[in-house]
Structure 1
Amino acid sequence: MTTTPIAPVPATTPPRSRNGPRALLVSLGTLLILTGVVLLAIGGTAAWANQQRDDDGYFRAGPERVSTETSAVSVPLLELSGAGPDDLYAGDFLGDVRIQLESRNTGVPLFVGIGPAAEVAKYLVGFGHDEVSDIAVDPFEVVTTTRPGGRPAAAPATQSFWVASDTGTGARTLGWNATEGDWAVVIMNADGSPAVDVDVSVGGKLPAIRGIAVGALIGSALLLTIGTAVMISALGLSRR
């Protein structure tokens, strides 16, 4: 009896699925494009904001009338600090700060000063003043809280702790290059008398705005280009 050998069945390799790599590319491309769109919006907003400076290069808010029956108006604490690249430090972000004011009481000399918050707080102890509790920028509005007390024993210009100050009649301008620290701002009649009534505007150069705009727009262009290339690769893989 003769038996015919049975030929072995050749092993077959199952077709490789491209769904996994394609889905990964689609997800990556979508993430890159969405991030690029967000950066584009940030860069566009920063570029628009950078055009809103006045003739001196400041972003300006005001003027706003600030008045009190006490002897001073103060911003008790400005915390300027930063952690990260140099361009994000408080001083680099704010740049030059400008405070402009003019008394509504004709001929009354004004004083405006910026000093360390702790030293200013010691000076203000015991005499009546209004503390700024909130500031809105658009529209510019100042909200104050009154601290009762008497009249200061010494005129503000006689104090030695001010890092920047200005005093005199008429329109006054105080310029200051913002540096890291805890600061306070005080506006008074120069002789410390009560009834302060002024028009105030504030401004800052904010040099970091230009850098934010340029960086965000460049990053957006790169991410959108890479994201589009990844999506095209995913489409090509799908067709194959």
Structure 2
Amino acid sequence: MSTTTYPVRVDGALDDRLNRWLWLVKWVLVIPHLFVLAVLWIAFVLLSCAAFFAILFTGRYPRGIFDFNVGVLRWTWRVQFYAYGALGTDKYPPFTLHDVPGYPAHLEIAYPEHLSRGLVLVKWWLLAIPHYLVVGFFLGGGTWFAVQTDRQGWNSGLVGLLVLIGAVVLLFSGRYPRPVFDLVLGMDRWALRVAAYAGLMVDQYPPFRLDMGGHDPGTTKLDQPPPENHPRPVAPSPSPSPSREPELRMSAGRTIALVVGTVVSLASLLGLTVGGALVWLDQARRDSAGFVTSDKVTLSTSGYALTSEKLTIDAGAASVPHRWFGDARVRVRAVSGSPVFVGLAATTDVRRYLAGVGYTTVKAVGPNTTTYDDHAGTTPSTVPTELRIWRVQASGPGEQTITWPIENGDWTLVVMPADGSKELSVRADVGATAPGLQWLWIGILTSSGVFLLLGTLTVALAVVRQPKPGPSTLPTTPGPPVE
């Protein structure tokens, strides 16, 4: 019974002699690679999204994208083999996506002639979950490529611990322990197989098997090893056949169109999400008076007043367009039912009034906690209702409401006991009419829908399979001349 070969091959040859000290500074030496890999992985993610649509529509992984993504995995593996993914060599990794025969770390993935259109929908997130758990244990969380490309030191997983042990042994003995290296390579190999599967490059489910050692046994027939020192049979050269290259490779223009279409489609989906959130805000949070209103929160102070932070409004014009921004509203009610004052004034006037007064500034209001900044001081010299600084004000028992047209300036809200006494606890909410909100979500949803249609059409046109050449277009081999 032959062992089924897996299409992802990962090899790494341990150097016979490693420098005892070099591993201490490899995190610095690989920084140039990390910068390049950061850019390459952004491209990897975008191109994988493009490949997703290509597989979904055609059942094929575009060859140009496939070769690039394999190159990114190969580059990443070389860097990690040199650095803290294995510490297997002191030979500096080359800056290339191609395989380098003379380098001790290699990665190859067999190009799939056909991929399942159904599996592409679930394998990278649902079917791969068991492997993600295993790889997370090996590497300390996340997938191999996500973890390894953005760290300059050790990860917190089992691989990082074993590599550290190997590095300490190397420091004192001058040799990297082979059993540790073989185990680390097995874990790295497992992670790279999962990376290829999650990257949509293979349909074969990664084996739950720890193939240890530098030479990958998972891509060979274990029961039929070639005899030592025996030359491999050379297969006869196949007869010339029509080239399938036009079906497997995409032109640069189609690849660019595929990437652009995918990016536009994903951005459009984000726009649809934002537009949907604005629809909910406009429809679900707007009360009968026409104000989009927040939830009520409880605010309190042991001083004489509650104030907001400085509210700066700058629409870049002489006045804020009322038809877009509308009116703002604040409603407060003292928890004790005692008379309460609420007012809005210019920030400079509020600071002048509360200079030397004990009050509290509300810094941030969260779903569970509210952050305050307390200011020590004494009693205010004047009750707030006697001042003439307020843009709008209201005071009395029960709920007090102030409403004003939104306008440019630096403003501060002030809530106080109406009689200027100490300590206050109120329930409050804020709202705005925001008449432009409806036009905003209509515009976002409409434009996002149009761009989604254009992006999807671009992807479809880029990945549609070219028609096979007919018999009359096939290359022919000239026969012997007819006598």
Q: TM-score range by the shorter chain?
A: 0.7 to 0.9
Residue 306 of structure 2 is aligned to residue 73 of structure 1: yes
Give the residue type in structure 2 aligned to 1:39: G
| TM-score normalized by the length of structure 1 | 0.79
| Pairwise CA distance, 1:184 | 0.5
Residue 375 of structure 2 is aligned to residue 164 of structure 1: no
For residue 144 of structure 1, the aligned residue among 361, 372, 377 is 372
| Pairwise CA distance, 1:183 | 0.7
For residue 63 of structure 1, the aligned residue among 296, 301, 321 is 296
For residues 128-139 of structure 1, the aligned pairs below 5 Å read 128-136=358-366, 138=367
Give the residue type in structure 1 aligned to 2:299: V
Residue 126 of structure 1 is matched in structure 2 by 356
For residue 431 of structure 2, the aligned residue among 203, 221, 224 is 203
Residue 99 of structure 1 is matched in structure 2 by 330
CA distance in 1, matches of 2:381, 2:351: 14
Give the residue type in structure 2 aligned to 1:120: V
CA distance in 1, matches of 2:282, 2:315: 22
Is contact 1:81-1:90 (8 Å) kept? no
CA distance in 1, matches of 2:251, 2:295: 59
| Pairwise CA distance, 1:123 | 0.5
Is contact 1:22-1:238 (8 Å) kept? no
For residue 271 of structure 2, the aligned residue among 39, 52, 57 is 39
Structure with more helix by fraction: 2
- RMSD value over aligned CA atoms? 2.8
Residue 21 of structure 2 is matched in structure 1 by none
Partner of 1:51, secondary structure, is: helix
Render the CA deviation track for 1:85-115: whole Å, top value 9, x for unaligned. x9xx797765322211122334x32211011
CA distance in 2, matches of 1:191, 1:66: 18
Identify if the C-alpha distance between structure 1 residues 91 and 150 changes in structure 2 by more than 3 Å, giving closer, same or farther: farther
Unmatched tracts of structure 1, length 5 or more: 1-15
Identify if the C-alpha distance between structure 1 residues 21 and 198 changes in structure 2 by more than 3 Å, giving closer, same or farther: closer
| Pairwise CA distance, 1:125 | 0.4
Partner of 2:297, secondary structure, is: strand
Identify if the C-alpha distance between structure 1 residues 38 and 64 changes in structure 2 by more than 3 Å, giving closer, same or farther: closer
For residues 184-199 of structure 1, the aligned pairs below 5 Å read 184-199=412-427
Identify if the C-alpha distance between structure 1 residues 19 and 223 changes in structure 2 by more than 3 Å, giving closer, same or farther: same
For residues 168-183 of structure 1, the aligned pairs below 5 Å read 168-183=396-411
CA distance in 2, matches of 1:92, 1:162: 24
Task: Give the total of aligned pairs.
Answer: 219
Residue 23 of structure 1 is matched in structure 2 by 255
Is contact 1:100-1:201 (8 Å) kept? yes
Is contact 1:71-1:196 (8 Å) kept? yes
| Pairwise CA distance, 1:173 | 1.0
Residue 343 of structure 2 is matched in structure 1 by 113
| TM-score normalized by the length of structure 2 | 0.41
| Pairwise CA distance, 1:154 | 1.1
| Pairwise CA distance, 1:62 | 3.6
User: 16-25 or 28-37, which moves further after superposition?
Assistant: 16-25
| Pairwise CA distance, 1:116 | 0.7
Partner of 1:112, secondary structure, is: strand
Larger RCO: 1 or 2 (CA < 8 Å, sep 6+): 1
Identify if the C-alpha distance between structure 1 residues 22 and 200 changes in structure 2 by more than 3 Å, giving closer, same or farther: closer
Identify if the C-alpha distance between structure 1 residues 195 and 233 changes in structure 2 by more than 3 Å, giving closer, same or farther: closer
Unmatched tracts of structure 2, length 5 or more: 1-245, 469-483
Partner of 1:105, secondary structure, is: coil
| Pairwise CA distance, 1:157 | 1.8
CA distance in 2, matches of 1:92, 1:116: 23
Is contact 1:90-1:180 (8 Å) kept? no
Give the residue type in structure 2 aligned to 1:191: D
CA distance in 1, matches of 2:452, 2:350: 51
CA distance in 2, matches of 1:190, 1:80: 28
User: Sequence identity, in percent?
Assistant: 26
CA distance in 2, matches of 1:57, 1:83: 26
Partner of 2:288, secondary structure, is: coil
Render the CA deviation track for 1:26-75: whole Å, top value 9, x for unaligned. 22322222222221121122112222222222232343332323211111
The 4+ residue runs of structure 1 with deviation greater than 4 A are 89-94
